C-alpha cells in the first residue's frame, strides 16, 4: 500500500503539490492521471524518496522510503528511462542492482525474459532505443519481486505489441495482490488497464474513484477526464488558422 498525506511542495513561485493525499491499495491497478505539470512525477519521486515535500508524508507499507531495509525488494519503480550506465550491458546493469540488494542473480535472466530483452541482454544498453530502455527500466523495477510498484508513463516509446504487453503485465501484477500505481496520458489505454483512478490537477486531488464510477451513464473516460480537469490544464496548444 502507498499512502500520501498532505503533500505540499513549492519550487520558487510554483506550487507543485498542494495538500495532496490518497491511498493506493493492493490487488488493483491504480491509474494516476492529470494534465502536464499537474504533479504526477513529483508525487512518485516523493514516494521513492527522490524528492522531499515541504509538508506532508509519503509511505510504502507504512514506512517512508528511507526506512525500508531492502528498498528494491519492497518497492520497484520506473520513473525515467535511461537511468543506467550507457557502457554497461543490460545484464550487467541488473546484476549490479541485484548484488547491491542481495537478490539472487538468477532473477536477472528471469526479468530480462519477462520484458522481452533476453536476446540483447549482453549488448551495450547505451545503444538501446527508447522502447528498449523502458523495458530495461521495467526489468529493474521487477528485479526484487516487490509488492509495491510505480510506473511513470511506461508505454512511452513502446510499440503496439509493447503497449498491449504493459496492459497485461499491469493486470497480472495486480492479480498477484501487488500494489500498482501507473501514470499514463493514454486515456483509452488507462480505461482498459486500470481498476481505480487518482486524478490530480495543479497538485490537488480531483478524483479518487473507480473507473466504473467515473464512466457511469455511458460517459467515456476521456469525457470524464476533461470534465474533471477543465480548470486545471496549464498548457494548451492552438491550431494554426
Ligand atoms: N526540480 C524542479 N524544479 C522546478 N520545478 C519543478 C521541478 N520538478 C517539478 N517542478 C514543477 O512542478 C510541477 C509538477 O511537475 P511534474 O513533473 O510532477 O508534473 P507531471 O504531472 O508529472 O507532468 P507531465 O504530465 O508533463 O509529466 C510543474 O509545474 C513543474 O514545472
**How high is the pLDDT of residue 106?**
96
- Tell me: pLDDT of 85 over 90: no
Tell me, yes or no, if the pTM score tops 0.80. yes
Instruction: Provide φ and ψ at 209, rounded to 5°.
Output: -155, 165
**Ligand 1 neighbourhood includes 11 CB (under 6 angstroms):** yes
Specify the residue for cell string 491499495: 25
**Ligand 1 neighbourhood includes 226 CB (under 6 angstroms):** no
- Nearest of 154, 136, 143, 158 to residue 90 by alpha carbon: 136
Q: 39 C-alpha to center of ligand 1: Å?
A: 6
C-alpha cell at 16: 507543485
pLDDT band at 83 (very low <50, low <70, confident <90, very high): confident
- Tell me: pLDDT of 81 over 90: no
Is it true that domain 2-74+146-231 has CATH number 3.40.50.300?
yes
What contacts 233, CB < 8 A, 6 or more positions away?
A: 35, 36, 201
- Tell me: pLDDT of 62 over 90: yes
**How far apart, in whole angstroms, are the C-alpha atoms of residue 52 and residue 14?**
15
**How high is the pLDDT of residue 44?**
97
> How far apart, in Å, do the first and last CA atoms of the chain sit?
49
**How high is the pLDDT of residue 84?**
84
**Ligand 1 neighbourhood includes 133 CB (under 6 angstroms):** no
**What percent of the chain shows pLDDT beyond 90?**
89
Least confident of 71-80, 178-187, 195-204, 232-241: 232-241
Q: What is the pLDDT of residues 161-216, one digit of tens each?
A: 999 999 999 999 999 999 999 999 999 999 999 999 999 999 999 999 999 999 99
Q: 111 C-alpha to center of ligand 1: Å?
A: 30
Closest ligand 1 atom, residue 9 Cα:
12
More confident residue, 177 or 239: 177
C-beta of residue 70 within 8 angstroms of C-beta of residue 101: yes
Q: 82 C-alpha to center of ligand 1: Å?
A: 19
Q: What is the pLDDT of residues 10-42, one digit of tens each?
A: 999 989 999 999 999 999 999 999 999 999 999
C-beta of residue 122 within 8 angstroms of C-beta of residue 11: no
3-state secondary structure the chain: CEEEEEEEEEECCEEEEEEEEEEECCCEEEEEECCCCCCHHHHHHHHCCCCCCCEEEEEECCECHHHCCCHHHHEEEECCCCCCCCCCEHHHHHHHHHHHCCCCCHHHHHHHHHCCCHHHCCCEHHHCCHHHHHHHHHHHHHCCCCCEEEEECCCCCCCHHHHHHHHHHHHHHHHCCCEEEEECCCHHHHHHHCCEEEEEECCEEEEEEEHHHHCHHHCCHHHHHHHHHCCCCCCCCCCCC
- Tell me: pLDDT of 236 over 90: no
Distance of CA 154 to the CA centre of its chain: 7
**How high is the pLDDT of residue 238?**
86
Phi/psi class of residue 106: alpha, beta or left (left: φ > 0; alpha: ψ in -120 to 50)?
A: alpha
- Tell me: pLDDT of 82 over 80: no
**How high is the pLDDT of residue 70?**
93
Q: Whose CA is nearest to atom 17 of ligand 1?
A: 41
Burial, 241: exposed, middle or buried (Cβ in 10 Å; 0-12, 13-18, 19+)? exposed
Q: Whose CA is nearest to atom 16 of ligand 1?
A: 39
**How far apart, in whole angstroms, are the C-alpha atoms of residue 26 and residue 28?**
6
- Tell me: pLDDT of 239 over 90: no
Averaged pLDDT, 124-144: 95
**Ligand 1 neighbourhood includes 39 CB (under 6 angstroms):** yes
Averaged pLDDT, 121-134: 94
C-alpha cell at 224: 470524464
Amino acid at each position: 500500500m502507498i499512502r500520501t498525506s498532505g503533500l505540499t511542495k513549492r519550487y520558487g513561485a510554483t506550487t507543485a503539490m498542494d495538500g495532496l493525499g490518497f491511498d493506493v491499495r493492493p490487488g488493483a491497478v491504480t491509474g494516476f492521471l492529470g494534465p502536464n505539470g499537474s504533479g504526477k512525477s513529483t508525487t512518485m519521486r516523493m514516494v521513492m524518496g527522490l524528492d522531499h515535500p515541504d509538508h506532508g508524508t509519503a509511505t510504502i507499507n507504512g514506512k517512508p522510503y528511507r526506512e525500508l531495509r531492502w528498498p528494491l525488494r519492497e518497492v520497484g519503480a520506473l520513473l525515467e528511462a535511461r537511468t543506467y550506465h550507457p557502457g554497461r550491458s543490460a545484464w550487467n546493469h541488473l546484476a549490479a542492482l541485484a548484488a547491491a540488494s542481495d537478490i539472487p542473480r538468477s532473477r536477472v535472466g528471469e526479468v530480462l525474459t519477462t520484458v522481452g530483452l533476453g536476446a540483447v541482454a549482453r549488448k551495450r544498453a547505451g545503444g538501446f532505443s527508447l522502447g528498449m530502455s523502458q523495458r530495461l527500466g521495467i526489468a529493474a523495477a521487477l528485479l526484487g519481486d516487490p509488492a509495491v510498484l510505480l510506473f511513470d508513463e511506461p508505454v512511452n516509446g513502446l510499440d503496439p505489441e509493447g503497449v498491449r504487453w504493459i496492459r497485461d503485465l499491469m493486470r497480472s501484477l495486480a492479480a498477484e495482490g501487488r500494489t500498482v500505481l501507473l501514470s499514463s496520458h493514454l486515456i483509452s489505454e488507462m480505461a482498459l488497464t486500470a481498476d481505480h483512478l487518482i486524478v490530480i490537477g495543479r497538485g490537488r486531488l480531483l478524483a479518487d474513484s473507480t473507473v466504473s464510477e467515473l464512466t457511469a451513464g455511458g460517459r467515456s473516460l476521456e469525457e470524464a477526464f476533461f470534465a474533471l480537469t477543465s480548470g486545471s490544464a496549464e498548457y494548451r496548444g492552438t491550431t494554426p488558422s
